[in-house]
Amino acid sequence: MGDRRMLEQTFAIKGIKEGLLIALSPTEEWQQITAALAARIDQQSSFFAGARITVDVGERPVPKYELSSLKALLERRGLTLWAVLSDSDTTIDAAQALDLKTSTANTIPGREGADGSEFNPEEDGTPGVMIRRTLRSGRTVHSAGHVVVYGDVNPGAEIIAAGDIIIWGKLRGNVHAGADGDESAVVCALDMTPNQLRIAGYITTSPPDKRRKPRPEVASIRNNQMIVETWQN
């Protein structure tokens, strides 16, 4: 829905299990990319807040001083550079010299701890994004965790989350919970009339009954079916 042509094509961001993956253009000037990235982070600081970042630089050889300045740039904004993906040996060496990971797949366990571990009364919680305003048409939010919106999600706005999506307001745009395939993900809203609602691989739209009373509802997958029901505790 969002007009992606509007975005600078110097980098692309997507949510992965380990945090955010930022793929940098292999052709664009390095300075330009990092400047655009910094501007984007400053602009959407709430989205990026505290995120763990994996950077994919493709075939670009990135010397250590450039990588460490990128690391510093991210750290100044409260982000952690966690891993660097590259096909270039120069970049891999630089990343290793800076003590960064150079692959992500299955290098760390997922959310669930090892079975049989000691019972821990303190919950670690799971990462999420809190958005305290209305998402208007053309806005997109990607998150590797959960997304909570204190406001409305207007038609033309879009949320894609690996985890759950909770809307304390009217949901009228497009949402995709469990976007990495997690069928246990849920979507909740005070008024659930999404243009399109997806959970993992399931998809539904709102029935066109116009004048109904808004009520809090929850959407989830049960028995291989999307179910939307009135919320009750």
Partner 1 sequence: MGARGAKVVTVTSGKGGVGKTTTTANLGIALAQLGKKVVVIDADVGLRNLDIVMGLENRIVYDLVDIIEGRCNLRQAMIKHKQFPDLFLIPAAQTRDKTAVSPADMIQITDKLRPEFDFIIVDSPAGIERGFRNAVAPADEVLIVTNPEVSAVRDADRIIGLLEAYQKGPGKLILNRVKADMIRKGEMLSADDVTDILAIKIVGIVPEDEQVIPASNSGIPVTLNENSRAGLAFRNIARRLCGEDVPFMPLNEGGGFFQKIARLFTGGQSE
Q: By CB under 8 A, tell whether 134 contacts partner 1.
A: yes
Binding-site member from 172, 174, 187, 193 for partner 1 (CB under 8 A): 172
- Amino acid letter for position 224: N
User: Are the C-beta atoms of residues 177 and 199 closer than 8 Å to each other?
Assistant: yes
The whole-angstrom separation of Cα 215 and Cα 179 is: 25
Q: By CB under 8 A, tell whether 151 contacts partner 1.
A: yes
* Least CB distance to partner 1 at residue 47 (A): 13
Q: By CB under 8 A, tell whether 105 contacts partner 1.
A: no
* Least CB distance to partner 1 at residue 111 (A): 32
Closest CA relative to residue 176, chosen from 136, 152, 147, 156 = 147
* 3-state SS string for 10-54: CEEEEEECCEEEEEECCCCCHHHHHHHHHHHHHHCHHHHCCCEEE
| Footprint (CB under 8 A) of partner 1, residues 4-23 | 6
The residue range among 72-80, 81-89, 131-139, 224-232 that interacts with partner 1, by the rule CB under 8 A, is 131-139
| Footprint (CB under 8 A) of partner 1, residues 17-76 | 43
Q: By CB under 8 A, tell whether 103 contacts partner 1.
A: no
The whole-angstrom separation of Cα 217 and Cα 220 is: 10
| Footprint (CB under 8 A) of partner 1, residues 181-200 | none
